[in-house]
Chains A and B, each alone.
Chain A
């Protein structure tokens, strides 16, 4: 392990010398709109670029997740996955063309997750330049349908249908460098939809207002007593509805997530909210529906797990301070399948999820060196045979 760690600073220099290629990949892939469920064009470019970089195999799985494989030296060792989600929250009519300045790249989706995907595409060339061969195959997967209503379908399908055991995985996100996610909270993502008939029917003396109904739902959710242990919370994240200022709203939607490190608690809170929704719908005589958009189970590696320890060592060697936080991303699906995995950030940035999201260029080399260090740690066998907690 120490041998690997000692090489890391040298890796940073080599990766920095490849800056143009890495940024080109980030830009060429990031400028293609890929809202969830409409990733086809980006898949095409992803495959094209992977083929150009001459990975040993380049294909899509049955769900159209594009995959490149860098063959390892051992046929017996299971593969290591490196994953970045392809989809973005931006619709295709948003300007996706990036602006590059001396130390920054700006544009829609750059932080979630063009940098991650661009780095994934650059790995074959970077590993070649660093003259690194692994025992395991390295599977580079750009997974689709991750965000929002996508509900991580791409990664779920990929892992469900992957025929062989998987040795470990690294999930790549653009930000923040220093992030170390090795656990995932249980989560249910929901939507409450309120629809009120616009007819002048007999059932309402005074027409209810869909926004006020949802306001009542929010008030009732806020009244719920949430325990500090297990750590739990409800995030009210999205709302929309109504027509114009002077007209009663006939429809409105509320989006929220229930998060907890206990699946049981997530379920319990969900049932409470379900009761709230049913009660308000009944009392106000409105069509109020609670829909589950997605859910994931709580899972984790222990901090003492060799993958986490190795990752911390790699980060410290690169003078990074590891900050642990839960992740609701692809990591959760790996952990749910008892595959050791971590999510790491590549660089620093600001205006996350906005059209003018901006990332710094300079830290990217260190972010990539960190990923390669972790791949080397997994490949050296340090994470084999470990059972997840």
Chain B
């Protein structure tokens, strides 16, 4: 496997910290940029994220045109706080309300495409404790400065070095290393060059996002990569080292559910592409056992793996965006 993509399309955020240049490029290309934040009970972190992005990338450098929060029905003060700090806040269920309602991050990202005005959409998770505006401008840099790049993915913490004697470990979290990377290695070795395929921070042009389906839940990051790779190839993808990302740690059981959803998405994609064949349908329940009063009790979590179609297939979207 060649690793030329990695050498060519891997950047460090500091290569894009000349914000005036990014603003100039944005204006020259007459682009609108939207920052979309999917939320569910993020009252502890949402204000900081909005505030820093607004201050640095709207007030001081007009790089972002809007900050849109799409909420999955938080029961804490997430929506109130986000509004108070100046974001445009929507409940996912109220967007395109005639459609069947689903709950999940992928649903929020998909519906954000209908709400946001931008030609470029930046998606950031909202549980980032050390949020910094580099998380947005680092992702925007390659999109604005290199015409061939249409989708940019973040990676963190372990800056890679492709020099002679400077080899440092690279890698993602547990699900990346135990699920995604083995799968990519088996089926799409080229994609192993994407160092953290599950990172929740990415940006891309509307023309790409509107043409791909979005799984409702955890599988969305995997499916976006697979679909972009399949439709447009690896060269439209870039990845940016955003340094360090600190977030809530998830327990193993939660990661198990995440891994289930990702495998489900991955296998469905493979099947769709005609690369694998199963005699039977997959089950859609994640079963985890607990010891309750000396008895092993199953904890069954249904992950149906619903998927939204490419939003360009939705008539309201086509009408709104004149497609």
Interface of A with B (CB < 8 Å)? 20-21, 23-24, 27-28, 31, 97-102
* A-B CB proximity, top 8 nearest: A20-B55, A100-B47, A24-B55, A97-B129, A21-B55, A100-B48, A24-B52, A20-B54
Give the one of B47, B54, B86 with max A CB within 10 A: B47
Q: Who on chain A is nearest to B43 by CB? A: A101
Once bound together, how far apart are the Cα atoms of A161 and B286, in whole Å?
A: 69
Q: Mark B41-67, 1 if CB is under 8 A from A, else 0.
A: 001110110011011100110000000
Once bound together, how far apart are the Cα atoms of A31 and B129, in whole Å?
A: 10
- CB-CB under 8 A from B81, the residues of chain A are 101-102
- CB-CB under 8 A from A97, the residues of chain B are 129-130, 246
- Chain B: number of interface residues, binned into ranges: 20 to 34
Once bound together, how far apart are the Cα atoms of A81 and B177, in whole Å?
A: 53
The listed residue (B47, B52, B246) touching A28 by CB distance below 8 A is B52
A23-B51, A101-B81 known; 17 other A-B pairs, CB under 8 Å?
A: A20-B51, A20-B54, A20-B55, A20-B59, A21-B55, A24-B56, A27-B51, A28-B52, A28-B132, A31-B130, A97-B129, A97-B130, A97-B246, A98-B48, A102-B80, A102-B81, A102-B84
Once bound together, how far apart are the Cα atoms of A289 and B44, in whole Å?
A: 47
CB proximity of A23 to chain B, nearest CB, Å? 6
Are B52 and A27 closer than 8 Å at their CB atoms? yes
Once bound together, how far apart are the Cα atoms of A24 and B45, in whole Å?
A: 13
- CB-CB under 8 A from B47, the residues of chain A are 100-102
Q: Who on chain B is nearest to A27 by CB? A: B48
- CB-CB under 8 A from B84, the residues of chain A are 102
Once bound together, how far apart are the Cα atoms of A99 and B76, in whole Å?
A: 15
Once bound together, how far apart are the Cα atoms of A101 and B60, in whole Å?
A: 22
CB proximity of B305 to chain A, nearest CB, Å? 34
- CB-CB under 8 A from B48, the residues of chain A are 27, 98-100
- CB-CB under 8 A from B132, the residues of chain A are 28
CB proximity of B247 to chain A, nearest CB, Å? 10
Once bound together, how far apart are the Cα atoms of A100 and B43, in whole Å?
A: 9
Are B44 and A99 closer than 8 Å at their CB atoms? yes
CB proximity of B242 to chain A, nearest CB, Å? 15
15 A-B contact pairs sorted by A residue (CB < 8 Å): A20-B52, A24-B51, A27-B52, A28-B52, A28-B132, A31-B130, A97-B129, A97-B130, A98-B48, A99-B44, A100-B47, A100-B51, A101-B77, A102-B47, A102-B81
CB proximity of B13 to chain A, nearest CB, Å? 14
Once bound together, how far apart are the Cα atoms of A24 and B56, in whole Å?
A: 8
Q: Who on chain A is nearest to B19 by CB? A: A52
Once bound together, how far apart are the Cα atoms of A227 and B243, in whole Å?
A: 58
- CB-CB under 8 A from B55, the residues of chain A are 20-21, 23-24
CB proximity of B52 to chain A, nearest CB, Å? 5
Q: Mark B173-197, 1 if CB is under 8 A from A, else 0.
A: 0000000000000000000000000
Once bound together, how far apart are the Cα atoms of A28 and B60, in whole Å?
A: 15
- CB-CB under 8 A from A99, the residues of chain B are 44-45, 48
